[in-house]
Amino acid sequence: MTESFRRSGEYENPQGPQGDAYQGAYPQQQHASSPVNPEWPPPPTHQPMQQAAQQPAAQPVTGEPETTQLPEFSALPEETPHSAHAKQKRTRGPIALLAAVAIVAAAVGGGTAYAFQELTGKTQVVSSSTTTSVVPSSKKGDVATIAAAVSPSVVEIAATLSNGTSTGSGVIITSNGEIVTNNHVISGAQSVKVTTSTGKSYTAKIVGTDSAKDLALIKLQGASGLSPATLGNSDGVQVGDTVVAIGSPEGLSGTVTSGIVSALNRDVTVSTDESQDQQSQGSGSGGGGQWPFSFGGQQFNGDTGSSTTTYKAIQTDASLNPGNSGGALIDAGGNIIGINSAMYSASSSSSSSSSDAGSVGLGFAIPINTVKSDLAKLRAGSTS
Q: Annotated active-site positions, please?
A: 184, 214, 325
Look at the alpha carbons of 5, 8, 11, 17 in this order and tell me if their dihedral is positive or negative. Answer: positive
Half-sphere exposure of 226 toward its Cβ, with a 13 Å CA cutoff?
A: 37
DSSP state of 260: E
Q: How many CB atoms lie within 10 A of CB 317?
A: 18
Contact (Cβ atoms closer than 8 angstroms) between residue 179 and residue 341: no
Cβ neighbours of residue 170 closer than 8 Å, sequence gap 6 or more: 154, 155, 156, 157, 179, 180, 181, 185, 194, 218, 326, 327
Distance (Å, whole) CA 136 – CA 68: 76
- 174 residue type, one letter: T
User: What does the DSSP assignment read for 83-126?
Assistant: HHHHHHHHHHHHHHHHHHHHHHHHHHHHHHHHHHHHHHT-----
C-alpha closest to that of 313 among 290, 344, 352, 335: 344
Query: Cα(first)–Cα(last) distance of the chain, in Å?
Result: 77
- 122 residue type, one letter: K
Q: Strand 293-295 relative to strand 164-172: parallel, antiparallel, unpaired?
A: unpaired
The SS3 call for residue 93 is helix
C-alpha closest to that of 357 among 283, 256, 295: 283
